[in-house]
Structures are given as structure tokens and as C-alpha cells.
């Protein structure tokens, strides 16, 4: 039997990159096993495109790291070329919305430090003389992009890994994987390996390897075709004249890319309804093979590409590549710990394995060796999907993701495939009351409420069509009383004699007193925010915790690992409870009509929790508010949630009771400066940097990240967060806009919205200095808007409303 600290399964660009980077981090006792030969999955037939273009800074960094590795680092370290061509690249468009998207990515790239620039049709023609620019509005230029030889790059990483002591076992398929004691046993054709860590980097075979590990991997092989032409006279003439290589060109509207390949061209189409392949398991004999061409499927895309690049028609088809590439439901890779399994990791599901592979290996190697990712990981965390991402879900979403490979990324976009996977107990009632639903972590939740049956959000930039509806919802919560279905929260129950010790070790804030509510942030070893928990201490042996819906599996893993050190029982009760927010100055009056519990400030103060009876249901009532109004969050056994809602609704009719959704909540929480996990609270920044120093109370407790947290707090290089008001902007700001001072990016917007109670356009921003600038502009979709720091929150800074000092029932009809 062999021994290793890590076994990586899969010899494509992703797995070999991890092998290389683990060695660089000092973990030399690493084995990679591959069923065939290196690159014999989808890597060998990839077109090798490398880009910096992304709407997410973490994915942008994966791609940029790959470029640096292939272009500079590996050739210098190994002496072997990776075949990297720094051709540059561009995306072109006829769509005004696409131009807005390009402006957004260019703005984000100013902050992340990459050179992406919006260009005119004239500049497109200059950069790519073979392209017709008729009808184009413009494009975006990516000068540091290019393409690489996937086989050369993978072999160079393998050489670097071997030089550091790593082992590669080729022609060695995995037959079984099982847990034994504190180790994994990986049974292969040649040997059995005992290992502390096992990594699924199997790509096309990721689903099968996941099944061996006891996991359901939400990825599907999709068939992708591209054409390689014979000699194209215009390209050959450029080479003869000593002209530079043509840049890669993409037309997202027509859904294709074209790049130069020697004296010919490669055309890669993405059809809207591509076929999935081998959904329930790739044939065992499949290796470095291709499927027969099926050009009829992509004929219309080929014609569109030839209209834009007429020279394509002059070369003739030399070969057609038709092979599988894996897609996840959102087209992002699965990177990180495998949910619920100690020592198990995922590095799979990438539809852009070569493009992202170099960086993905670096990312996971850092996570494994440092105990936390190097950057915020939510967009790629392997636990962002749960058990609800079943076979039908992954297939429907993979088809959608492939077809929208070049889809516009709109703010607050909701994509339609594979919906209604998780329904709250109030789902049907919400629809009856006009809810326009969004999806979060498989759940359906109300985004906003319409008075028109069948209404839906129309994606776009500029002032959204739902604003008048959301304004009305905010008015209901501000002037009267409003209900909201908040059942999607992740919910956990901690019980046992060590409950207080468990909570003391959980995060940076102290443990609340019995009957009280606290907010605590669990940290990474580097002091960043891993999770945010609302902690309700029911008694000395029981606590109820809630956290963000999208963090359910991630938070469950963290709590489960912590619980190993204490005599407590942990239960994930997310599906067991529904939850209703009752908010507004009339909330006490409504709730008093359906319970006998004394709801006065003296008996039931702000930030306290009580057991109450409503509609014959035992309810955990939390007096707290995420929107800055007097209110309660009611957590109710699932089968009684509907009855409680109807009782509240009936009790509030004469008070003008209304409803509000996620968009209204987002607006109101920003008027209070409340941070949101996953956008404002991230693994890269500490609670102090996020402006939440008041929630840091280390005392003499020991908790993860404590020392790093205190060190960063005194560092002159620490970041800061501030709430800013933006002037003259009708477009609600969203993630990724740069804050500029003197033409230089100094910060970035993490979340934003229109504030209907204050009349302000608001955004939370991180700044790369301890003290935010006093004057700045925020660049939104290519335009600069003056912005100012708000030294206090603009709505009820003294918290008089949540404490009910000003709250009293307001008659119906007083809509502001």
C-alpha cells in the first residue's frame, strides 16, 4: 500500500496545476493518478483560449494567474515553452446593453488592476483588419489575453511538480474510494493509496469520482464543437508581411469566437441548446477521443461568423473538434472542500479548464495549506449547491449555462431554467399575493410584489421597472406594517451542556445572555469573515443560529467541525422551520392580536428572543430587524407556518398590512448601513475592515482568526468600508463599480440600491486605506458620478424606530 498526504484524481490542467502548486507550498508528498495519460480528458482538445474578462474578481484572478503561469513562470522555471501567444483579444457587439456590460467589466478591471478598455468600431477595425464592423456599436479590448498549447502547459506544470518531489501515476484508473478511520483509501488499478486528503479533479469523469466519494457532483459533460480551417490567404499574407498575430475576437450576440491558428483560423460556436453527453457516467473506455462532427447544429452560427469575418470562408474546413467539456449549473468551477466530508476536496466542473486551471490550482493549494482561500470564494465554492441540485437540475442548468456562455450578466438577473426546486411553506400564498420570485440556493423567494398577475422582472441596465412596486413595499413597512417570507435563511440548533463554550469559540463577538440575540462573525485563520451568524441563546444548553441562505452547506461544515470539540448536538433545521418577518410601526399591534405574550419594550426588548404561541403554533420570536423598523422575525414549525401567516394577515387588514420582498429589504438595509454576507462581508476582509468593530469583543476567548484579526486591526495597510451617497445616478449601483480619486481607483462598490425612505442613491464600498477619501467619484457603466462619504447612516441613526421610541400604529392610507 502506498502512502501520501494528498491524492489528486485527474491529470488535466486543473489537477496538474494543483499538484504543481501544492509542491510550491511545501507539500511534496503528493500523488496524482490518471486513468489514461495527462490531458486525456477535455484538456487535450481545448482551444487554449486565455482571458482576463470576468464579472467576478476571484474568477478574474484565476484567469490572470493562469496567464502569468503559462506565459512567464513555467518557461522560466522549467525551460519548456507553454506555447503561449500574447495575441490580445476583443469582444464586439451590436447591443447597447452589451456595451453597458463591457463598461462594467472595464470599470471593475480598473480596481483589480487589469487592462481592459472599451473601444470604438474604428478601433476594432484597426486591431482586427479582417473583421467587418458594419452595425457594431463597439467592443472591449483585452491586450494581455492570448492562447496557450494545453498539452505543453500541462506537461510543464507536471515537470515542475516532479522536480519538487510529486509523483504522477498514469494509466492508473481509480476503482474505489472509501473512508477508513481518519484516512481515505484510493483503490487504483496498480495500487491502493492511503491519504489524508483526496481531491476530485477528474473533469469529464468528475461525477463518477464524486459518486465513489459519496457525493453528487452537479456537473454535466456538454458537447462543444470548433472548426479549424486550412490556410486562409489573408492570414498567410499577414504572416508573410511580418504583421502581428490577429487578436482573438468574440461576438457574444452571435455566440462565437475566432482565433488565428498558424496560417488559418479556429471558429468556436456556442449554440443555444447544445446536447449534454453521458449524463450518468462516461463510458469507461472513453479517453483521448472525439465524437463525430455535427455541423448542422451550428450552421447558422458559422454563417454569422463568416459575415463578420469573411476570410473564414476562404480557408475551407481542415478539421472539426467535437468533444465533451463539463458545465456546472452556473458555469463556474467547483473548488474547495467537499460538503460533509473531512479531507475531501473538489477541483472540477470547469468549462474553462485551461483558461482557469493554472489559477484554480493555486487557489485550492492555498486553501488546503493555509486553511482558507486566498480570495473570496463564494462564486466558486464547491458547496454553493446542495442536495437539491439533483440530476434534472444539473442537466437543465448545464444546458442553460452553455447556451448563455456569452449571455449578458445583468444586475439582479434571474435565469429561468430548473426553478422551483425548494419551496417555502408560504410559496403558494406569496404567488397569490403577487410575488415575483427569485432563486437563492435553490429556494424560491419573493423579490418584489406586483399588482399585475404574471408580472416578471425585465433584465436590463438603468432604472428597473420594478422600482415603483418596491417603493410601495418600503412605504408599507415604514408607515404601517408589512410581512415578508424569510424562510430561506439557513437555520441550526445547538444543544448540549457545552453550548456556551461552543458559542464562545464560534466567532469574534461575545456570547449573548439567555433570552438575548447577538451577531457574531466566524473568521478564517487569516481573520477574514467566513460566516455571519445571528445567535439566539434560548437557555444555557440551547441556541438557535441563522445565517445566509447561500451559506447553508458552508456554515454547516464550519459548525460541525467546531462541534467536535464540545459536548453538543448540532442539527441543520433549515427545512424544518418557516420564517416570517413582521415589520413596521404597526407590527406590535398586529402581533399582539394573535398572541397572549406581553410584547411591551419592558417585557420583550429589542434584541431578545421569546417562545410565543400564535395560531396554536409554538413560535420562536426574535425581536430584531434587518430593515431598521420595529419588528419581529418569527420562526415557526414548517407545517404551521401558513396558519401563522394567515392569522397575522387577518389581524393587520385594518392597519393597511402589506408585503415586501428581497429588493425592498436590500434598499432598507443599506439605508441603515447593514452589511450583507457574500458581498460586503467576505473572507478577505476582517469585521473591523468591514466597519463592524463594535461587534468584535475578543475578551480572553480563543476563536479561529483571533490573532490575525488583532494584528490587522493595528496595521497601516488595513482596508476600510464606508457608506456613500452617489449623486445624479438613476441606475441603482451594484457590485464592481470603482471609486475614483484623481483618476485612480481607490475602492470598489460591494452593494448598492436606491434608498426610498431617504431619497439617496447608496452604496457600500471597500477602500484600500484605513481612512476613506472624503471626495470621490463612482464610475458606473462608464460614467463618473460625484459621491460623498456618509459619516452616519441616513435613516434613523439613533435606532429610535427599531427600539420603538417613535413606533406606533399608523392608519391605512398614510402611504408616503
pLDDT digits (tens, 9 = 90+) for 605-636: 999 999 999 999 999 999 999 999 999 999 99
Residue 454 pLDDT exceeds 90:
no
pLDDT at 458: 86
Q: What confidence tens digit (pLDDT) does each residue in 399-453 have?
A: 999 999 999 999 999 999 999 999 999 999 999 999 999 999 999 999 999 998 7
CB 349 within 8 A of CB 15: no
Distances (CA, A) of 351 to 125, 442, 530, 536: 30, 22, 27, 42
Average pLDDT over residues 638-649: 98
Residue 816 pLDDT exceeds 80:
no
pLDDT at 655: 97
Average pLDDT, the chain: 96
Distances (CA, A) of 576 to 424, 491, 573, 635, 641: 10, 9, 5, 10, 10
Closest among 222, 316, 328 to 271, alpha carbons compared: 222
| Matching residue, cell 511538480 | 161
Closest among 63, 64, 2 to 31, alpha carbons compared: 2
Average pLDDT over residues 467-486: 98
Q: What confidence tens digit (pLDDT) does each residue in 37-73 have?
A: 999 999 999 999 999 999 999 999 999 999 999 999 9
Average pLDDT over residues 594-600: 97
Q: What is the pTM of this model?
A: 0.96
CB 78 within 8 A of CB 160: yes
pLDDT at 806: 62
SS3 317: strand
Distances (CA, A) of 774 to 183, 599, 638, 741, 794: 55, 43, 49, 10, 17
Average pLDDT over residues 523-545: 98
Q: What confidence tens digit (pLDDT) does each residue in 280-306 have?
A: 999 878 888 999 999 999 999 999 999
Rounded Cα distance, 334 and 344, in Å: 13
Q: What confidence tens digit (pLDDT) does each residue in 308-361 have?
A: 999 999 999 999 999 999 999 999 999 999 999 999 999 999 999 999 999 999
Rounded Cα distance, 809 and 131, in Å: 66
Contacts of 332 (CB under 8 A, 6+ apart): 59, 349, 379, 380
pLDDT bucket at 811, cuts 50 / 70 / 90: very low
In this structure, what C-alpha cell is assigned to residue 765? 464600498
pLDDT at 807: 42
Closest among 430, 398, 436 to 417, alpha carbons compared: 398
Average pLDDT over residues 498-507: 98
In this structure, what C-alpha cell is assigned to residue 204? 469529464
pLDDT at 457: 83
pLDDT bucket at 524, cuts 50 / 70 / 90: very high
Q: What confidence tens digit (pLDDT) does each residue in 136-176 have?
A: 999 999 999 999 999 999 999 999 999 999 999 999 999 99
| Matching residue, cell 428572543 | 609
pLDDT at 585: 97
Average pLDDT over residues 101-113: 98
pLDDT at 287: 83
Closest among 358, 298, 296, 289 to 324, alpha carbons compared: 289
Average pLDDT over residues 18-43: 96
Average pLDDT over residues 169-187: 96
Amino acid at each position: 500500500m502506498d502512502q501520501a498526504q494528498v491524492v489528486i484524481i485527474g491529470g488535466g490542467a486543473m489537477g496538474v496545476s494543483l499538484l504543481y502548486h501544492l509542491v510550491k507550498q511545501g507539500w511534496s508528498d503528493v500523488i496524482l493518478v490518471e486513468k489514461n495519460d495527462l490531458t486525456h480528458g477535455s484538456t487535450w482538445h481545448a482551444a487554449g483560449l486565455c482571458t482576463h474578462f470576468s464579472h467576478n474578481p476571484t474568477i478574474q484572478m484565476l484567469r490572470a494567474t493562469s496567464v502569468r503561469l503559462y506565459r512567464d513562470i513555467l518557461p522560466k522555471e522549467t525551460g519548456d515553452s507553454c506555447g503561449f501567444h500574447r495575441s490580445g483579444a476583443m469582444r464586439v457587439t451590436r447591443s447597447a446593453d452589451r456595451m453597458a456590460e463591457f463598461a462594467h467589466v472595464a470599470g471593475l478591471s480598473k480596481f483589480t488592476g487589469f487592462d481592459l478598455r472599451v473601444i470604438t468600431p474604428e478601433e476594432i477595425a484597426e486591431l482586427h483588419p479582417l473583421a467587418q464592423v458594419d452595425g457594431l456599436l463597439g467592443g472591449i479590448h483585452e491586450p494581455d489575453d492570448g492562447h496557450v498549447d494545453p498539452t505543453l502547459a500541462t506537461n510543464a506544470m507536471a515537470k515542475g511538480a516532479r522536480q519538487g518531489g510529486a509523483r504522477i501515476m498514469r494509466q492508473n484508473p481509480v476503482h474505489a474510494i472509501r473512508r477508513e478511520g481518519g484516512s481515505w483509501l484510493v483503490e487504483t488499478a496498480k495500487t491502493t493509496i492511503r491519504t489524508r486528503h483526496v481531491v476530485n479533479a477528474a473533469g469529464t469523469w468528475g461525477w463518477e469520482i464524486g459518486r465513489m466519494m459519496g457525493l453528487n457532483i452537479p456537473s454535466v459533460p456538454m458537447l462543444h464543437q470548433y472548426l479549424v480551417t486550412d490556410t486562409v490567404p489573408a492570414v498567410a499574407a499577414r504572416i508573410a508581411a511580418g504583421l502581428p498575430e490577429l487578436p482573438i475576437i468574440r461576438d457574444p450576440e452571435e455566440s462565437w469566437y475566432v482565433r488565428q491558428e498558424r496560417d488559418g483560423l479556429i471558429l468556436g460556436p456556442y449554440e443555444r441548446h447544445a446536447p449534454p453527453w453521458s449524463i450518468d457516467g462516461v463510458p469507461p473506455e472513453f479517453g483521448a477521443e472525439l465524437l463525430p462532427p455535427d455541423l448542422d447544429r451550428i450552421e447558422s452560427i458559422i454563417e454569422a461568423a463568416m459575415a463578420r469575418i469573411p476570410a473564414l470562408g476562404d480557408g475551407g474546413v481542415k478539421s472539426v473538434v467535437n468533444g465533451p467539456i463539463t458545465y456546472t449549473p452556473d458555469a463556474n468551477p467547483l473548488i474547495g472542500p467537499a460538503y460533509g466530508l473531512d479531507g475531501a476536496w473538489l477541483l472540477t466542473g470547469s468549462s474553462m479548464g485551461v483558461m482557469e486551471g493554472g489559477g484554480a490550482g493555486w487557489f485550492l493549494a492555498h486553501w488546503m495549506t493555509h486553511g482558507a482561500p486566498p480570495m473570496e470564494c463564494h462564486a466558486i465554492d464547491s458547496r454553493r449547491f446542495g442536495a437539491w441540485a439533483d440530476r434534472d437540475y444539473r442537466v437543465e442548468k448545464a444546458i442553460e449555462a452553455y447556451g448563455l456562455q456569452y449571455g449578458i450578466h445583468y444586475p439582479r438577473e434571474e435565469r429561468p431554467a430548473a426553478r422551483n426546486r425548494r419551496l417555502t411553506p408560504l410559496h403558494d400564498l406569496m404567488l397569490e399575493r403577487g410575488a415575483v420570485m427569485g432563486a437563492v440556493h435553490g429556494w424560491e423567494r419573493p423579490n418584489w410584489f406586483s399588482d399585475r398577475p404574471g408580472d416578471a422582472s425585465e433584465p436590463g441596465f438603468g432604472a428597473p421597472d420594478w422600482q415603483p412596486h418596491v417603493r410601495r413595499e418600503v412605504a408599507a413597512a415604514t408607515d404601517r406594517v408589512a410581512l415578508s417570507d424569510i424562510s430561506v435563511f439557513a437555520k441550526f440548533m445547538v444543544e448540549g451542556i457545552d453550548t456556551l463554550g461552543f458559542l464562545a469559540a464560534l466567532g469574534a463577538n461575545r456570547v449573548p445572555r439567555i433570552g438575548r440575540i447577538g451577531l457574531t462573525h466566524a473568521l478564517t485563520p487569516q481573520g477574514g469573515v467566513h460566516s455571519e451568524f445571528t445567535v439566539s441563546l434560548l437557555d444555557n444548553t440551547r441556541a438557535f443560529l441563522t445565517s445566509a441562505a447561500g451559506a447553508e452547506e458552508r456554515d454547516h461544515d464550519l459548525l460541525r467541525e467546531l462541534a467536535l470539540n464540545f459536548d453538543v448536538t448540532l442539527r441543520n433545521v433549515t427545512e424544518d422551520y418557516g420564517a416570517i418577518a413582521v415589520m413596521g410601526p404597526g407590527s406590535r399591534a398586529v402581533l399582539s392580536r394573535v398572541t397572549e405574550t406581553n410584547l411591551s419594550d419592558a417585557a420583550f426588548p429589542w434584541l431578545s428572543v421569546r417562545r410565543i404561541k400564535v395560531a396554536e403554533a409554538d413560535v420562536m420570536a426574535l425581536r430584531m430587524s434587518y430593515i431598521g423598523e420595529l419588528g419581529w422575525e418569527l420562526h415557526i414549525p414548517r407545517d404551521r407556518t401558513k396558519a401563522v401567516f394567515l392569522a397575522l394577515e387577518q389581524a393587520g387588514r385594518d392597519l393597511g398590512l402589506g408585503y415586501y420582498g428581497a429588493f425592498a429589504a436590500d434598499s432598507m438595509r443599506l439605508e441603515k448601513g447593514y452589511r450583507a454576507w457574500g458581498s460586503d462581508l467576505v473572507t478577505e476582509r476582517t469585521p473591523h475592515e468591514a466597519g463592524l468593530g463594535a461587534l468584535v469583543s475578543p475578551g480572553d476567548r480563543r476563536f479561529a482568526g483571533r490573532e490575525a484579526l488583532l494584528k490587522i486591526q493595528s496595521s497601516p495597510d488595513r482596508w476600510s468600508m464606508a457608506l456613500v451617497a452617489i449623486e445624479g445616478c438613476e441606475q441603482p449601483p451594484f457590485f464592481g463599480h470603482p471609486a475614483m480619486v484623481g483618476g485612480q481607483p481607490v475602492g470598489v462598490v460591494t452593494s448598492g440600491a436606491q434608498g426610498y425612505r431617504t431619497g439617496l442613491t447608496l452604496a457600500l464600498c471597500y477602500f484600500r486605506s484605513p481612512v476613506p477619501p472624503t471626495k470621490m467619484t463612482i464610475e458606473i457603466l462608464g460614467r463618473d458620478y460625484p459621491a460623498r462619504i456618509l459619516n452616519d447612516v441616513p435613516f434613523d441613526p439613533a435606532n429610535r424606530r427599531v427600539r420603538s421610541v417613535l413606533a406606533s400604529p399608523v392608519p391605512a392610507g398614510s402611504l408616503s
